[in-house]
A and B are shown apart, each in its own frame.
Chain A
Amino acid sequence: MIDLKKHQSLGSALRESLETFADETCLIEADRERENHRLTYRQFKEASLPLAKFLEDRGFKSDSRGAIIMTNQSRWPIAAYAIFYRGGVLVPLDYKLTAAEQLALLAHCKAEVLVTEYHLWRAMTQAAGFTEFNVGQVIVTDAPRNAELHGALRWEEAKGAGGPDFIPRTRQDWACIVYSSGTGGRPKGCVLTHDNYLEQCLSLTALYPFWPGVRYLSILPTNHAIDFMVGFIGPFVCGATVVHLRTLRPEYVREAFPRYQITYVALVPLILKNLQSGLQKRFDELPQLKRLIFNQLVNLNRALTRTRPNLGLSRKLLKQVHEAFGGELRAIFTGGAFSDPAILQFFYDLGIQVANGYGLTEAGTAITLNDFAPFRADTVGKPLPGMEVKIIDRDPEGIGQVAVRSKTIMSHYLDDEELTAESIVDGWLLTGDLGRFDTMGHLQLFGRVKNMIVTEEGKNVYPEDIEKVFEALPVKEFCVFASNYVWPERSMLGEKLMIVLRLNEGQQFSDQLRAELSRHNNTLLNFKRISGYVLWDSDFPRTASMKIKRVALAEEIRSKFDRQTSLKEL
């Protein structure tokens, strides 16, 4: 690993890595059973610098903002490095957002350059908000030969001649603007500095080191805080290899493990659950005697690794399971959303460490991580080195809001002083999550103070982001809540959104209204949809400026209605 302490920026650190590890394999890109290409660090540099020169020739300089909207592939980090090389601020956006959402965020962040895939660009040019599009330079990949590019340039043509000038940055300069949510309501663009990232990288690699020969399977979108760190920056500063898959079909993901002898992978709980159910199905299909022997081996492994993992032993005892994962898997990282303890235990019993952690984009990725000393399925681990974590406003059971202070905490929310001031108080980031430390110093989570949900795929959804789609509903008034915000449950699983409806006088909740509600609901991406409704019988409390007093309304509903009888499924 290069010495990060001597670097002031991500660009500088990556620059040294590309020289230090020049002949090591940097990236492998596969598409189904085909391998598209492999790049060494030297080849990565040769691919990226012409793009950096192109950007330089177009006036891209320090603090210029460059957005990337792409699925995971080699061109993602190539474009990112070019932006950092020129001292720019990277804006990694989610390719799964709708075109309208992507356009809104591009406008919000005032990107000067956009690197994206042709099919995403095509969708943007067809979206209603495209008339306001104001990004000066668009570069598209995979554009068919005769495609209408609407002023964009092909990736292959975005090359400048000669060497670009490297623009140094300081640790306090902005590295990235990462949106933690807010595509429909109030965009939450987290401004993260080079210091945030370099410090986060140091603390994560202290626990989970990378080195040349380590292979990380990059499945989570690289715009996501987790993959950006463990699927790009972390491996790169250590000379490791990142494997990108152009398809996420489960069968190809499963094959990638043995094919590329994967060392680490990060998964959101949804994929982990899918993996677990696939494995369980295979185990259940074993002939009876084999099943019996297998179960005994799992029990033995569990007993022998009760205090600490023993990878060598587990690989011997459960050879076939580990060989199915390529025989080199050291850990699966998971976070972004809450993991079911039973699933974590399932993998641990097989000798596969699922390093469960907790973090926020606002905190620079990970706040706590399980260290397996011993394994705990019921917690999100201990604070990482450099993280100060405390519980504030504790109730009699010791549960209160989790607050964090660290060099990895974001600088602020882009163009939102008010929200920043509410979120970072005296240097402490108020996470909005409820937790408690146990006697071993492990953090346990018990729900949220915030009115929001996190899906199994790690997507944050705030009610205010989606209310707009229901504006035309023929009711007197409505409000969207996270169900657990109204009726707190001491659980992070199964979070759902609901809509509270105040009908017009004499109005009934008819089949027609239900159909109308569903119609609006279905315009949202699947993970943003509401799943239930509550019929409320009095006017919503409002401020003088007619904003709904959400806290007061939630309290009224909670005091008058119980969840079981009043929350109806949509």
Chain B
Amino acid sequence: MRTTEQIIDEILNLASTHFKTSRQGLSPDDDFFKTLGIDSLQALELLTRLENHFNVELPDYEVQGVNDFRTLAERIQARL
């Protein structure tokens, strides 16, 4: 069973790969819209990537109002 920290780490890796940005520049409590320079639609693209990686289905509402990687990780963990 993955810990939250492990999930965060995997999310940051995926995000840096998908959006072609430095992994070192990303932290768990970052506002991912600002740090990654993305809009809400691009955030949904990331969500699909995360679903495929973690093999879970995340309804769109799970990320509504979510801005940071840590909270995203918690939402994913709850569905694992």
Contact = CB atoms under 8 A, between A and B. Distances in A.
A247 B62 CA distance: 11
Interface string B8-47: 0000000000000000000000010100000111101101
B65 A271 contact: no
A246 B60 CA distance: 8
Contacts of B60: 71, 246-249
Given A71-B60, A119-B61, A247-B59, A270 B40 contact: yes
B48 A251 contact: yes
A96 B61 CA distance: 9
A271 B41 contact: yes
B41 A526 contact: no
Contacts of A96: 64
Contacts of A95: 64
Interface of A: 71, 95-96, 98, 117, 119-120, 246-251, 270-271, 274, 456-457, 522, 525-526
Nearest to A99: B65
Contacts of A274: 39, 41-42
Quick one: which of A95, A251, A526 has the most chain B CB within 10 A?
A526
Nearest to A457: B40
Given A249-B44, A270-B40, A457-B40, 18 more contacts: A71-B61, A95-B64, A98-B65, A119-B59, A119-B61, A246-B59, A247-B60, A248-B41, A248-B44, A250-B45, A251-B45, A270-B39, A270-B41, A456-B39, A522-B31, A522-B67, A525-B65, A526-B67
Interface in B41-78: 41-42, 44-45, 47-48, 59-61, 64-65, 67
Nearest to B68: A522
A4 B73 CA distance: 51
B49 to A, nearest CB: 11
A249 B48 contact: yes
B44 A250 contact: yes
Contacts of B65: 98, 525
A370 B61 CA distance: 35
A111 B39 CA distance: 33
A117 B61 contact: yes
B55 to A, nearest CB: 15
